[in-house]
Structures are given as structure tokens and as C-alpha cells.
Amino acid sequence: MFKSIRTAVLSALIALGTVAGVSAPANAGDLRVYAGSGGIYFGFGDHYNRRDVRRNRHYNRGICRNRKAVRKAARRHGINRARVIRRNNRVVKVAGRRDGYRTVVTFANVRGCPRIR
């Protein structure tokens, strides 16, 4: 009895190994097993979470963040008490003081915050 079960299990493992070896080059994906508080999830292939892509689209587009514009105005352009006064989809305007006078610096709203005026 034990010998017949062992033979069946061994032949099943060989069959699964053969199928996995043949289909692996044809399929570029893989098998993923996730276990968590929500249960066990099995996934196949190179799927990605579309919610993460939608959430990070602005980051991938490369916009000028307020913090980066303020830091750049303070460090590279010598503006004290720098703050963002206007922002839209094209420009980020930072105002502050330089040499005792009010100053406004305009940055493009793209990656790297290049100075416009």
C-alpha cells in the first residue's frame, strides 16, 4: 500500500516538473504566492498593481515639488524666508528676501525645477 502511494506521488512530481520545465521558457511570468491577514492569493505572470501606477503618475511625470523649489531658492539663489506664493501646472513662484529687498523667483513645474525668471 505504501509503495503504491509512493510511486503515485513520485510520478506526479516528475510530471509536474516536466510540465513546469517545458512551460517556463514559453511563459515569461512566474507563480507568486501571497499569504497575509486577508488569506492566501495565487498570482501568475508579470502583473502589476494598477492602483499603484495611478497613485504615482505625478511622481513619474516629474513635477517640481514645493519643498524642492523653496530649497533651491534658498540655497542657490540666496533668498531668505522663502515660501511658495503661486503654483499652477506650469510654474512655481517662490518669494522671499534677498539683500533686504523682496524677491520673486519663478521655476518651471518640471523635474529638477529649472529657473525661468
pLDDT at position 25 over 60 = no
Give the three-state DSSP class for 10: helix
Residue 30: its pLDDT value, please?
62
The string of pLDDT tens digits covering residues 28-68 is: 556 666 666 667 766 665 555 555 555 555 555 678 999 99
Q: Which residues contact 47 (CB under 8 A, 6 or more apart)?
A: 29
Spell out the domain ranges in the chain. 2-47, 63-108
Cα–Cα distance between 99 and 60 in angstroms, integer? 37
Task: Enter the pTM of the model.
Answer: 0.50
Structure-model confidence comparison of residues 106 and 7, the more confident one: 106
Cα–Cα distance between 36 and 34 in angstroms, integer? 7
Residue 22: its pLDDT value, please?
52
Average of per-residue pLDDT across 14-27: 57
Residue 107: its pLDDT value, please?
96
How is residue 19 written as a grid cell?
510540465
Closest among 60, 93, 58 to 77, alpha carbons compared:
93
Cα–Cα distance between 52 and 45 in angstroms, integer? 17
